[in-house]
Amino acid sequence: MSAGGHPPQVGRFGKQRTRISSADPEAQRRENAEAPHIPHLLRRIGELFAPHRRTLTLTIALVLLGAGISVVPPLLTQEAFDRGLFPEEGGPNVPVLLELVGIMIALWVASAALGVWQTWLTASVGNRVMGELRIRLFEHLQRMELGFFTRTRTGAIQSRLQNDVGGVAGVLSNTVSSVIGNTVTVVAAVIAMLLLSWQMTVVTLLIMPALVLAQRRIGIIRARIAAATQESLSNLTAITQEALSVSGILLSKSFTRQGAEVERYTDENHRQIDLQVRQTMSGQWFFATVQVFLSIIPAIIYLVAAWLILRDVPVTAGTVVAFTTVQARLMWPLMGLLRVALDLQTSSALFARIFEYLDLTPSISDSPDARPVPAEQLGRIDFEGVSFRYPGATDAAPATLNDVSFTIEPGQYAAFVGPSGAGKTTVSYLVPRLYEASEGTVRFAGVDVRDLQGEDLMRHIGIVSQETYLFHATIAENLRYAKPDATSQELEEAARKAHIHETIMSFPDGYETVVGERGYRLSGGEKQRVAIARVLLKDPAVLILDEATSALDSVSERLVQAALDEAASGRTTIAIAHRLSTVAAADVILVVERGRVVERGRHEDLLALDGLYARLYRRQAATA
């Protein structure tokens, strides 16, 4: 049995994991791990509002005006009692009473109107800031290198964009008006109370320091729980994204693991429920105690008033009624301030998670003097003494590429072959600078890729990989991803060259056929040919084919290979191949083994050499 009293469970990849019980103090301590430390967090949150200074200034003015107005009616209450209802001589003074009541009604109406206006302004600013923050985070993630996404779950990234940014929405919308409005109301109420009776004011404010200290401690606890809650939401999002995608559903059904997926989701959902309940309940006893104290203060004021009257301190009925009215109005803004303070402490964990991503520095970025790809030697690719290790690999592990050198001339068809894991695909990653060479130099059009503008470099390269990605959109929309302004004629021309036009036209909706998530409504060969048509629309100088036919049947392979031959015509082509028969006509074949180029030449020359290539070729021919 585990520490939490639950039997250990096996995780998705066989690791033993234990369901965390909220009753386990050690588990809670782990859950409540501190959010990432972000220097100057409050200043950076404040900077988010900088573009909205004018609206905020108007909001602050409305808040100040509204808060000031809200304190006047209780003061008029004293006048209504002492001059209108119970004057020193005679009965009620109706004209004075009507005048005071009229002023109070006008002030209440004005305060309500100002409140509606102020709410609209704060909601507008808060939601704009939230939207700008979400766009800023999405834009920053778009600049991150490929390696970041290979080591980070997509669901975790989605959670930062949706759950974390959404979690601070209320704080962004309400903090300014709540803090300023409630602060002004509290200060004005205290001043009004002092004007009415400083003795009763002292009694009322005696408990405030204890409340503030208790609030700070509860805020720290809630911030820790909030961090754990968002991490759990991130896990839930990741599980949903993995298990409910088309690929995830196919996998779970094929291995009859639906029950395990439900169990995995259930475990994380239970943890989320525990955390949500703990976050909701943290501070509830505190606020209940505060409410009780503030609610019994009027009764205490009556006793204090009696004590003052017995000592001949002048206290009128109007003073007592006005004071308790002001004190009652003090309760809600004071509670509001305490809640905002708690919300700010809680949201600091969410802001820290957001800024943690915003502070990530892409390991691959343009140098300050990066320049466009030159037209001269366009299509030429040089590797000079290139070695490479994937980020996170230890020095003891063998390099993926080791001192690799070669030259591919413009218009040449070069194929990279070799055993699985030899480093072939890594070559295709280094040319468009999806990864950075650890040692040596990669040149494109005669220029070090580190000296070229990344977007312009990628503009001259087209990639067709084994795993084709299509959006859940129409075929036409997927094709136009390469060229948004492409005409219908251009789409058809690219599709004909990719040998997919007739297939598309056989669908009832033609080019308006929705392909489904990741293109699952199309066959493997159809998806590949749509992807090839998309690359043809881009019309790059260099084409990279990463085992583009290895997962296809023989009929689809012939069709796709014909499309690839059409796409490769007239442009530099790098083909990463598993099936050697598909690259037999290449201008040069480079054989890679354990990160090194061990053989190079044409198909016939390599067969005559009787080395690794010849052995691989004979082995494949024997099993064909």
Count of structural domains within the chain: 3
More confident residue, 509 or 560: 509
Least confident segment among 339-343, 419-423, 443-447, 462-466: 339-343
Place of tokens 């209504």: 80
Is the same domain home to 91 and 146?
A: yes
Is 393 within the bounds of a domain? yes
Q: For the chain, what's the residue count?
A: 624
Is the same domain home to 441 and 479?
A: no
Q: How confident is the model at residue 287 (pLDDT cuts 50, 70, 90)?
A: low
Q: Is the pLDDT of residue 316 over 90?
A: no
Cβ burial 260-279 (10 Å sphere, 16+ → b, else e)? bbeebbebbeebbebbeebb
What CATH number does the domain containing 585 carry? 3.40.50.300
Is the same domain home to 98 and 192?
A: yes
Q: Is the pLDDT of residue 331 over 70?
A: no
Least confident segment among 284-293, 295-304, 371-380, 493-502: 284-293
Give the C-alpha separation, 543 to 247, whole Å: 28
Cα–Cα distances in angstroms (integers) from residue 107 to residues 113, 120, 384, in the given order: 10, 20, 80
Is the same domain home to 354 and 492?
A: no
The rounded percent of the chain whose pLDDT value lies above 70 is 79
Is the same domain home to 393 and 453?
A: yes
Is 466 within the bounds of a domain? no
Is 236 within the bounds of a domain? no
pLDDT computed for residue 355 by the predictor: 86
Residue ending a domain, choose from 308, 323, 358? 358
Is the same domain home to 91 and 184?
A: yes
Q: Is the pLDDT of residue 589 over 90?
A: yes
Least confident segment among 171-175, 373-377, 620-624: 171-175
Q: What is the 3-state secondary structure (H, E, C) of 231-286?
A: HHHHHHHHHHHHHCCHHHHHHHHHCCCHHHHHHHHHHHHHHHHHHHHHHHHCCHHH
User: Whole domain around residue 199: which residue ranges?
Assistant: 40-221+283-358
Is 275 within the bounds of a domain? no
In eight-state DSSP terms, residue 511 is: G
Beta carbons of 504 and 495 less than 8 angstroms apart: yes
Segment 614-624 shows an average pLDDT of 84
**Would residue 248 be called left, alpha or beta, if left means φ above 0 and alpha means ψ between -120 and 50 degrees?**
alpha
Beta carbons of 246 and 469 less than 8 angstroms apart: no
596-601 and 588-593: which strand pairing? Answer: antiparallel
For 353-377, the DSSP string reads HHHHHHTPPPSS---TT-BPPPSTT
Q: How confident is the model at residue 346 (pLDDT cuts 50, 70, 90)?
A: low
More confident residue, 336 or 18: 336
Segment 225-235 shows an average pLDDT of 74
Is 247 within the bounds of a domain? no
Segment 391-397 shows an average pLDDT of 74
Q: What's the pTM value of the predicted model, to 2 decimals?
A: 0.68
Residue 151, number of CB atoms within 10 A of its CB = 9
Strand (E) or helix (H) holding 385: strand 381-388
Q: What is the 3-state secondary structure (H, E, C) of 29-64?
A: HHHCCCCCCCCCHHHHHHHCCHHHHHHHHHHHHHHH
Q: How confident is the model at residue 386 (pLDDT cuts 50, 70, 90)?
A: very high
Give the C-alpha separation, 530 to 544, whole Å: 16
Residue ending a domain, choose from 308, 324, 358? 358
Most distant pair of Cα atoms in the chain: their distance: 127
Residue ending a domain, choose from 535, 555, 581? 535
Counting beta carbons within 10 angstroms of the beta carbon of residue 406, is it exposed (0 to 12), middle (13 to 18) or buried (19 or more)? middle
Residue of 564, 540, 538 lying closest to 552 (CA atoms): 564
Q: Taking the alpha carbons of 420, 421, 422, 424 in that order, is the dihedral positive or negative?
A: positive
Is 557 within the bounds of a domain? yes
Q: Is the pLDDT of residue 440 over 90?
A: yes
16-17 and 588-593: which strand pairing? Answer: unpaired
What CATH number does the domain containing 201 carry? 1.20.1560.10
Three-state secondary-structure class, residue 220: helix
Over the stretch 151-210, which tens digit does the pLDDT of each residue have? Answer: 877 777 777 777 777 777 666 666 666 676 677 777 777 777 787 777 887 877 776 666
Is 108 within the bounds of a domain? yes
Counting beta carbons within 10 angstroms of the beta carbon of residue 55, is it exposed (0 to 12), middle (13 to 18) or buried (19 or more)? middle
Give the C-alpha separation, 202 to 297, whole Å: 12
pLDDT computed for residue 505 by the predictor: 93
Q: Is the pLDDT of residue 439 over 70?
A: yes
Give the C-alpha separation, 537 to 333, whole Å: 62
Is the same domain home to 192 and 302?
A: yes
Q: How confident is the model at residue 12 (pLDDT cuts 50, 70, 90)?
A: very low
Average pLDDT of the chain, as a whole number: 79
Is the same domain home to 413 and 335?
A: no
Segment 72-76 shows an average pLDDT of 72
Is the same domain home to 94 and 153?
A: yes
Q: Is the pLDDT of residue 431 over 90?
A: yes
> In this structure, what are the phi and psi dihedrals at residue 290, rounded to the nearest 5 degrees?
-60, -45
Is the same domain home to 475 and 561?
A: no
For 170-188, the DSSP string reads HHHHHHHHHHHHHHHHHHH
Q: Is the pLDDT of residue 560 over 70?
A: yes
Beta carbons of 67 and 107 less than 8 angstroms apart: no
pLDDT computed for residue 216 by the predictor: 63
Is 18 within the bounds of a domain? no
Is the same domain home to 455 and 565?
A: yes
Over the stretch 99-142, which tens digit does the pLDDT of each residue have? Answer: 888 888 888 888 888 878 877 887 788 788 888 888 888 888 88
Residue of 338, 298, 296, 344 lying closest to 321 (CA atoms): 298
Over the stretch 503-541, which tens digit does the pLDDT of each residue have? Answer: 999 999 999 999 887 777 888 888 888 888 898 898 899
Residues sharing a CB contact under 8 Å with residue 607, sequence separation 6 or more, in sequence order: 613, 614, 617
Q: What is the 3-state secondary structure (H, E, C) of 153-168?
A: CHHHHHHHHHHHHHHC
Q: Is the pLDDT of residue 26 over 50?
A: no
Residue of 106, 94, 596, 240 lying closest to 383 (CA atoms): 596
Q: Tell me the range of 79-88, 315-324, 381-390 where mean pLDDT is highest.
A: 381-390
Is the same domain home to 447 and 342?
A: no
